[in-house]
Amino acid sequence: MESKDDDYWNDSANKSFNFDEDDVAVLEIATNNKRSLFGEDATSEANYGNAQSELPLHMIISDENLELILQEQSRDEMTIPKGISLEEEVKLLRKKIQEFNYAPLTESVVRKLILGKPCSLEMFRSMAEKEQLLDEAIASGCGNAILKVTLFLDQTLKKKLFYTLLQTRPEAVYHYVNYLSLRLKVTECTDLLVFLGRHHEASLLQFSIFVCSTSNLDIKRQRLKKIFSDYFSQPGANTFYAQLVANYMNLLEYQMGELHASGGSSKAVAIQDKSVLETLNYVCGKYKWGDTSLQTNDNPFKLVEYHQVSQAQFEWIALNERAKKQAWLDFDHIFERKAWLNLKQKSFKINIPIDRTILRLHSLNAPDPVLNTFLAKVEDPHRRLALARKVQSKHGIVDALVLLKDRAELETYRNTLESGREERLYAENALKSLNNKWKSDAMKLIK
């Protein structure tokens, strides 16, 4: 006599999926079933039915992609048709076992890797099979698939064979090097790059990881010395990179020396492990301008020379630092250069945009004589006049109007100036000079 549980299972109204039927069988849920899977939520079922009828399957996924998914499912599932003989069932089981003993198609495996489906690569045992699998992953263009296959090869091949395999596959090297770098596996990454002949990249990798991984200056300096000795001082090393590392070591030593010499002052602390330009700003603040005897990093000109700072960068930093200290006289040492033919004669030379310089000086409250010095270097009188008016330089406006020979405008501007002030007298003298020059030119024309 059958139990009640057997009656329940035998009495189920659910129809199974039958491959022999022409139409797709639908899972029917009996409304009078005592153990309804979804209870009595008729509203949800109705909404699902409406959504299904309103949105056909082909609008959600293409036929091609649906076919690929079904193929993958059919490969993974062990399906034995009903009604087959014992001999045929044994054949199917034997075929399934063979799939675990022999390497499957590389296209199928890579497709699973792309879709993120679990799959084993252990069936790929021979060198040729592994090489074919890697090439298929590279052809797919999927970085995850390439990296997974590369890591599998790393675990199952000797290092020399593994590196030789990567030698002609830069895509795999790219993903593998990134993987090792992110996990700070510097030794493995360096060994690979050296084997591939990419010594410069190996040295820069050592530099970037070992130096950036610590904030302790003593440890950083020791690591720099070792890296410089092992890589950058060897024959064939890139001289440009070697010079950069040497300059960095020199900069760190100067910064640490300043920290000890100043007794830990706040300004010296602020430049520890900072850039060359920040250090240059510090040096400009403590340097006695005009003293050319210093031949060390305490001299901003020597610091610029050692670290190959451009003249424009130097001038901009020095100008801002000295202007904030209101040390206007030091500008002569920054912008004056000795002439080549006459060493006693000096010439004014500036490498930063003159317009930007004048506006910056005005924002830092530079006095009128300083502004006039820089305004005088603007060759175009119209441009000079516009800049002089923007920074409200009275002498600069007068000089620009004289260059333009605009007597009427100069008279108008003179009348706006307060009587008895130096600017008014300067404008009147300029107007007299302009009138005398105008008369002289007129006499020449008459003659």
pLDDT score, position 295: 75
Tokens of 195: 């084997």
| Average pLDDT of the chain, as a whole number | 79
Query: Does residue 46 have a pLDDT over 70?
Result: no
Return the top range by mean pLDDT from 197-211, 308-322, 328-342.
308-322
pLDDT score, position 20: 41
pLDDT score, position 361: 96
Question: What's the pLDDT tens digit per position in 364-421?
Answer: 999 999 999 999 999 999 999 999 999 999 999 999 999 998 888 988 999 998 888 8
pLDDT band (50, 70, 90) for residue 73? low
Query: Does residue 228 have a pLDDT over 70?
Result: yes
pLDDT score, position 443: 42
Query: Does residue 247 contact residue 307 with C-beta atoms inside 8 Å?
Result: yes
Is 184 part of any domain? yes
pLDDT band (50, 70, 90) for residue 78? low
For the residues 311-324, what does the mean pLDDT come to? Answer: 95
pLDDT score, position 378: 93
Is 32 part of any domain? no
Query: Does residue 27 have a pLDDT over 50?
Result: no
Domain carrying residue 157: 87-197
The count of domains in the chain is: 1
State percent of the chain over pLDDT 90: 38
pLDDT score, position 331: 92
**Which residue matches tokens 């009495």?**
11
pLDDT score, position 218: 87
pLDDT score, position 445: 44
Residue 107 half-sphere exposure, CB side, CA atoms within 13 Å? Answer: 2
Query: Does residue 33 have a pLDDT over 50?
Result: no
Least confident range from 29-33, 207-211, 282-286: namely 29-33
Is 399 part of any domain? no
Is 211 part of any domain? no
Q: Residue 171, class by beta-carbon neighbours within 10 Å (0-12 exposed, 13-18 middle, 19+ buried)? A: middle
pLDDT band (50, 70, 90) for residue 161? very high
pLDDT band (50, 70, 90) for residue 344? low
CA angle 322-327-328, nearest 5°?
Answer: 100
Query: Does residue 282 contact residue 267 with C-beta atoms inside 8 Å?
Result: yes
pLDDT score, position 255: 92
Query: Does residue 413 contact residue 401 with C-beta atoms inside 8 Å?
Result: yes
Catalogue the long-range contacts made by 346-350 (C-beta closer than 8 Å, 24 or more residues apart).
348/373, 348/377, 350/315, 350/374, 350/377
Least confident range from 34-48, 154-168, 224-238, 307-321: namely 34-48
Is 337 part of any domain? no
pLDDT score, position 226: 87
Question: What's the pLDDT tens digit per position in 82-137?
Answer: 667 777 777 776 766 655 566 678 888 888 888 888 887 888 888 988 999 999 99
Is 123 part of any domain? yes
Task: Residue 372: name the closest of 356, 360, 384 by CA.
Answer: 384
More confident residue, 100 or 305: 305
Is 397 part of any domain? no
Which residues, at least 6 apart from 237, have a Cβ–Cβ distance to it below 8 Å? 199, 200, 203, 231
Measured between alpha carbons, how far is residue 226 from residues 203, 274, 430 in Å?
Answer: 11, 21, 68
Q: Residue 427, class by beta-carbon neighbours within 10 Å (0-12 exposed, 13-18 middle, 19+ buried)? A: buried
Is 102 part of any domain? yes
pLDDT score, position 35: 39
Return the top range by mean pLDDT from 36-50, 269-283, 325-339.
269-283
For the residues 165-193, what does the mean pLDDT come to? Answer: 91
Measured between alpha carbons, how far is residue 331 from residues 66, 325, 326, 334 in Å?
Answer: 76, 12, 10, 5
Query: Does residue 280 have a pLDDT over 90?
Result: yes
For the residues 152-161, what does the mean pLDDT come to? Answer: 91
